[in-house]
Structure 1
């Protein structure tokens, strides 16, 4: 795999992986580090014979594994809300919109499985099938968890509690 191929793959897929990491770990610098780790592992595999779809699937699955390894190591895997980093949110253009900032903070209060299914389905707009593959769940579990996650997110954001 040459430098040009690596740079193109990074340019194409890193924004999505970084967004996922940022929403999941709730810390910009950690998300940057974990995103880099995903791509370092990809380069180490040296597999240039994959299609873009296969590369993207591999990166997403690896990102999930790396993020949860990090959360376990830091003992943040428990269902304890993350502390929002208000100062850091303002520094990054992604968080300039009040709606995004509110979503980010509310997501941080959800348990990791809820946070993750919302990120993949609603923010990254993956299909149910793609989400199920990344999470190693069946499609029905994705649907049910997403429904519960959206209800919990609405509650966190001060919306309707029951429909």
Structure 2
């Protein structure tokens, strides 16, 4: 196994899980994961070694995701398995639609946030990065990452609950 294959094996699941959570689309997550590793291989010389390699890969993945969303300007796709068949179909469907609507409200609120709030929240929730890792990624402190995440969370909660957040303008 060469170096690139070892890196792929070691970090594939982390990057894929991160992109799967962002895209909510298996095929797109797979495509972006592959592209992430291709870009990483091409630009490995730019990796400064200051932070964890996984964090660097997630930043590449995040940028690819944002580029993809700008290109497509499309919403989150709805999978067929979200609409089950059977005895409890109606109740299950109503529950899933309610959950889907809540998730969509949160997703919309998240994407209305300004950076760095949007990025920090996504990296923490979807990328499962620690505050230390997020701080390294942004060249800031762990405390900064924690505060930024909690502010983003509050902004999202206020928006989903119908209140306006003054912090959006920060």
- CA deviations on 1:42-70 (whole Å, 9 max, x unpaired) are 11124498659542222111111110000
Q: How does 1:43-58 map to 2 (within 5 A)?
A: 43-47=41-45, 53-58=51-56
Match of 1:125 in 2: 128
Q: Is 2:79 the partner of 1:85? A: yes
Closer, same or farther: CA 124–21 of 1 in aligned 2, 3 Å: closer
Match of 1:94 in 2: none
Match of 1:145 in 2: 152
Q: Secondary structure at the match of 1:82?
A: coil
Closer, same or farther: CA 18–59 of 1 in aligned 2, 3 Å: same
Q: How does 1:100-111 map to 2 (within 5 A)?
A: 105=100, 106-109=102-105, 110-111=107-108
CA contact (8 A) 2:51 2:136 kept: no
CA contact (8 A) 2:47 2:56 kept: no
- Structure 1 length normalisation: TM-score? 0.62
Equivalent-residue separation in structure 2 for 1:153 and 1:23 (angstroms)? 21
CA contact (8 A) 2:16 2:33 kept: yes
Structure 1: runs of 5 or more not aligned: 91-100, 156-163
Larger radius of gyration: 2
Structure 2: runs of 5 or more not aligned: 85-95, 162-170
Number of equivalent positions = 138
Match of 2:60 in 1: 62
Aligned-pair CA distance for 1:132: 4.5
CA contact (8 A) 1:10 1:39 kept: yes
CA contact (8 A) 1:18 1:32 kept: yes
CA contact (8 A) 2:19 2:65 kept: yes
Closer, same or farther: CA 66–152 of 1 in aligned 2, 3 Å: farther
Match of 2:72 in 1: 74
Equivalent-residue separation in structure 1 for 2:159 and 2:19 (angstroms)? 18
- CA deviations on 1:4-36 (whole Å, 9 max, x unpaired) are 211121111111111111111221101100010
